[in-house]
Amino acid sequence: MSVDKSVEIVEAFWREVWQGRNPGAAAGRVAKDFVITSGGLEIVGREAFVEWVAAFLQGIDAFQFKSIESFQNADGSRVASRWMFTGRNRGFLGGRDCGTSFEMRGTAILHVRPDGLLQHNWVERNALEVYREVVGL
């Protein structure tokens, strides 16, 4: 892999999996032993990740994902990306299905392997603020 392609790899992942609302597309983008660390919770393995994405998307109506900006380190092994998504709550925060509109923003650091597959994704997001917005606190 050329070290200048890592941002393109991550942007394709965002486009195919999240913008395309296609969890199965992750199978061609992430390593078999892929890990996502989301809010401190680890989901380990490609199959578990695909299931996690599907469950996540199932709890949101009118889901729209946007990549705000992405940039990489010198050797292309890490990409930092700011993103946002909007939707209507259908229980994605573990609560009731209330249909409340919300906007979530976050940052991801992704490990891109030399073969172009994603190995790890560390995600932080404004979940507390979204939760408060959705439940009306």
- For 20-79, give the DSSP string: TT-GGGGGGTEEEEEEEEETTEEEESHHHHHHHHHHHHHTEEEEEEEEEEEEE-TTSSEE
Name the burial class of residue 17, with classes exposed (0-12), middle (13-18) and buried (19+) by CB atoms within 10 angstroms of its CB: buried
At residue 4 the predicted structure's pLDDT band, cuts being 50, 70 and 90, is confident
Tens of pLDDT, residue by residue over 64-123, are 999 999 999 999 999 999 999 999 989 877 777 888 888 999 999 999 999 999 999 999
pTM of the model: 0.90
